Amino acid sequence: GAGVSQSPSNKVTEKGKDVELRCDPISGHTALYWYRQSLGQGLEFLIYFQGNSAPDKSGLPSDRFSAERTGGSVSTLTIQRTQQEDSAVYLCASSKATDTQYFGPGTRLTVL
């Protein structure tokens, strides 16, 4: 079956611009997670959704970061006024409740 998909695969933007990253989870998976992978910080948790609600946003690094999930499916991670330190690979994962997380291929964000 189809796995987790993310788009775009690569995004290059200028400092100060807003970007939106999309995640399509595996069908039927109620939980969705966003992580960030960067050279300096490794793999960091950003936010977790159960259905459409986000009980844990503790990993969002600043108020420039936000995420939403609609219809219990697709999620969008938005970064406003991007900074160079936002450059990273953004990974999305989904799971059934608290089961194993399956990861997408990631979106590589480069902020110039």
CB within 8 Å of 3: residues ≥ 6 apart: 26, 102, 104
Is residue 95 close enough to count as binding another protein by CB under 8 A? yes
Site for another protein in 53-82 (CB under 8 A): 55-56, 59
Nearest approach in angstroms of CB 16 to another protein is 28
In one-letter notation, the amino acid at residue 103 is: F
Site for another protein in 15-54 (CB under 8 A): 31, 33, 35, 42-43, 45, 48, 50
Cα end-to-end span (Å), the chain: 37
Nearest approach in angstroms of CB 25 to another protein is 13
CA 101, CA 104: separation in Å to the nearest integer? Answer: 10
| 29 or 111: CB nearest another protein | 29
